[in-house]
Structure 1
Amino acid sequence: MFQLDSGHEGEKIVRRKLSDQVLDKLRHMIRSRELRAGDYMPSERALMERFGVGRPAVREALQSLHNAGLITISHGERSRVNEITAGTVLDQTDEIARLLLNAVPSNLEHLKQARRMFELGIVRVAAENATDADVAELRELVQRQRSLLGGDPVPFIEVDMAFHTRIADIVANPIISAVSVAMLRWLFQYHTSLLHWSNNEEITLTEHDCIVDVIAAHDPDKAVETMRGHLNRSLDFYSFGDGETPPR
């Protein structure tokens, strides 16, 4: 008599939800470029007829695509396929990043280390490749940041982010730019209170001026050294909990 080998438990056929099967079909339509960025999604009725399923399965699948950032669902309009870039992919991780940083404090140290390594590589390439226009834009950002001294800290921090992002853009690699923006956003957005303290903004601006100078001089080694000093000083202040005051 045949006996079922318990070692084959993993071969059992599991019936999948209809909405999951529709989701797989829609993802394939996007991956195969049957549906391209900017295209309207087929109507719910058309999808129901194409896949032989009911409206609930189609709607659930469309909502999953929307939650994943692959399409945009607008009230009163047909869904539209989104353009997928490195930035849009990383945007989807913001909530997870916040949970990760808040749940495991040591991950903040890991993020700081990653940013140091990342920015030191970026500034080396920036010093090698920067054009006069790049340098002029960096100087303009430092001036804009200086004009915000003494006011609301949030705009000051936003221009600080723009300054570092602009350096990353010199590399001309969209993935590097997107990762740079994401790391800055995770640090600044969730630890804003740690980044603005009396009498240190001028130090930041002076260091930014020095970074621009060495980039303009096309001195990669000096650029790395200058950026390392800036990051070592500024990132040290991220180790404090909310509500505490950094040392002076």
Structure 2
Amino acid sequence: MEPVHKRKLYQEVLDRLITAISTSEFPPGSQLPSERELMNMIGVGRPSIREAMLTLQQMGLIKISHGERARVINPTPEVIVNQISAAMIMLLATSSRGLDELKEARLWLETSMVSLATRNATAKDLEALAASVRELQDARGDQSRFVAADMAFHGIIADMSGNSMIAAVTKGMLDWLSRFKRELVSVRGKERLTIEEHEKIYKAIAAGDAEGASQAMRDHITRGNKLYWQTAEPTQLADA
């Protein structure tokens, strides 16, 4: 028989507040009661209220501004991904397998996502994607601009998927990788390859070829991963 673990008081307060938020007692955009009001409502001291409120803020459920009552945040996928970004970046910096696993996850996610984006593509989406390819071509020789255009291309495809969770996670992965990358996409000879691969992905999407777009994306990301292993130093991370 397992022993009974005594929960801290703030955890009980946290559960009460999460339930109130999830049942729309305090809907997104509304303000929570003041600390004193919550103390009277729940029957606990200020330390437990403050610890519970701080945890809610760390979870991305409320925003605490100085001099104002806490406000409930609409928990969008973007907000949730942003909340875990700091922890993910720390994981990548300290885990020997962290980067490998993230690259594997990105390969799986983006090759599936681009198929969905192809099926959902509108004329406006294709115009934005074509413009992104042109921006990549124009940015050749300007490392920071080139990398930004590269990331923007993948971000547009993520939005084209029509799935806000997929888009948020994909953009989060790109951001996490970019924090550690040595900019190999701008190495001499590699800019041309990156542009050609983006053009191939775009053409497959524009043609409505979901399978071709998925294979082109797989080739693109796999080539980038191989380039990383061939040229990156042990303490540096890369992505193309």
| Structure 1 spans left out of the alignment, 5+ residues | 1-7
Deviation by residue 1:67-111 (Cα, 9 ceiling, x = unmatched): 221111111222111110222222222122222222223332222
Q: Post-superposition shift, 1:180?
A: 0.9
Q: Is the 1:191–1:242 contact (alpha carbons within 8 Å) kept by the matching residues of 2?
A: no
Q: How does 1:212-231 map to 2 (within 5 A)?
A: 212-231=202-221
Instruction: Determine whether 1:70 maps to 2:61.
Output: yes
TM-score by length of 2: 0.88
Between the aligned partners of 2:52 and 2:236, the Cα distance in structure 1 is 45
Between the aligned partners of 1:245 and 1:120, the Cα distance in structure 2 is 22
Deviation by residue 1:89-138 (Cα, 9 ceiling, x = unmatched): 22222122222222223332222222112111112222233121111100
Instruction: Determine whether 1:141 maps to 2:132.
Output: yes
Out of 91, 99, 102, the residue aligned to residue 90 of structure 2 is: 99
Between the aligned partners of 1:24 and 1:107, the Cα distance in structure 2 is 32
Between the aligned partners of 2:141 and 2:160, the Cα distance in structure 1 is 30
Task: Tell me the secondary structure at the aligned position of residue 10 of structure 1.
Answer: coil
Q: Is the 2:115–2:214 contact (alpha carbons within 8 Å) kept by the matching residues of 1?
A: yes
Task: Tell me the secondary structure at the aligned position of residue 3 of structure 2.
Answer: helix
| Structure 2 spans left out of the alignment, 5+ residues | none
Q: Is the 1:194–1:238 contact (alpha carbons within 8 Å) kept by the matching residues of 2?
A: yes
Between the aligned partners of 1:37 and 1:190, the Cα distance in structure 2 is 35
Structure number with greater Rg is 1
Q: Is the 1:191–1:238 contact (alpha carbons within 8 Å) kept by the matching residues of 2?
A: no
Q: How does 1:64-213 map to 2 (within 5 A)?
A: 64-151=55-142, 153-213=143-203
Instruction: Determine whether 1:232 maps to 2:222.
Output: yes
Deviation by residue 1:45-75 (Cα, 9 ceiling, x = unmatched): 2111101222222122111111221111111
Instruction: Determine whether 1:35 maps to 2:20.
Output: no
Letter in 2 for 1:129: N
Q: What's the counterpart of residue 3 of structure 2?
A: 10
Between the aligned partners of 2:17 and 2:2, the Cα distance in structure 1 is 31
TM-score by length of 1: 0.86
Between the aligned partners of 1:245 and 1:96, the Cα distance in structure 2 is 17
Aligned residue pairs total: 236
Residues 1:52 and 1:75: Cα distance change in structure 2 (over 3 Å) = same
Q: Post-superposition shift, 1:244?
A: 6.6
Between the aligned partners of 1:96 and 1:111, the Cα distance in structure 2 is 14
Identity of counterpart residues, as a percentage? Answer: 38
Q: Is the 2:147–2:185 contact (alpha carbons within 8 Å) kept by the matching residues of 1?
A: yes
Q: What's the counterpart of residue 38 of structure 2?
A: 47
